Structure 1
Amino acid sequence: MNTPIPLNQESLVQMRVAHLGMIQSIIARLSGFSANAKTFCITILAALVAVAFQKPVPELIWAGVAVPLVFASLDAYYLALEKQFRDMYAVVSGRAIDQAADLAIAPKKLKSKEVAAAFFSPSVIGVHLPLLLGMCLLLYLAGKLAAAD
């Protein structure tokens, strides 16, 4: 009894543009989450350095190592998801226009191999590895200065 109304070409094009817009907004949000992870990591590391130079706390070395690793993992997860959605965008934009009514957005299940590849990408390792090395150096120096006093 309830039959779907056939869609004209203009309606299908509008649906395609709306679908691509939804996917693009997800990509933008994931990119923003990735940037926020980097910013938050730097903020926490700056606080650790400030505390380390105030008073000697050897446990800060472990926190200084853990924080960049945790945030690099989170950043890699967001990057792997973003790549999935960019791939989905390419697939959806390449479909025939008569398939525009399919507005599915669910990505496939993320594999650990994809997250590992993202972890070693320049946008993740290029930011978090220098932070990790710099943190180790600063905490080492803070420990030496505290031992000298």
Structure 2
Amino acid sequence: MAKKLQIGQRQASRICQMSATDRLAFIAEGLPIIHASAKGFWSASLELNAMPREAEVLEGFAKEEAAKILILLDVVRCPEKRVAGKLSMLIGRFYGHLERLIYAQLAEWWSEDIARLRKAPLPMYNVDLSPVPVTLDALKAEQDRLYWAEVGDP
């Protein structure tokens, strides 16, 4: 019978010393635990209607926990030939607050509709730092116009 893997505080660094099979089993066993933790923080944040600051903190914890899942999925997807060079970096992201928040933000961006993003104003500014709303399509059209003005019309 296989030895039960321990999962808990600061255990992710053990992944670096595991074989591919053990690493996959360890991650598979840990993902539901991390998911339950994220759901718990999220549920608790929804209960704090009268305390929005505290609710926001718990939402942040929930997002960080969910980001741990994304990081572990990156570990699983990492090609076996590149694991030695990438694994310690990925595990470092697992413990960093900023790294987890970046993963969470990227996940929100990935779910955006690309067509909607192309029409959304880009954050551009004049010299006096006043915002200038410009869409990606308008920016590309201006780029094309300037290019053809430079080289001559086709």
TM-score normalized with structure 1 length: 0.44
Q: Which has the higher contact order (CA 8 A, sep 6+)?
A: 1
Give 1 or 2: higher helix fraction.
Answer: 1
TM-score normalized with structure 2 length: 0.43
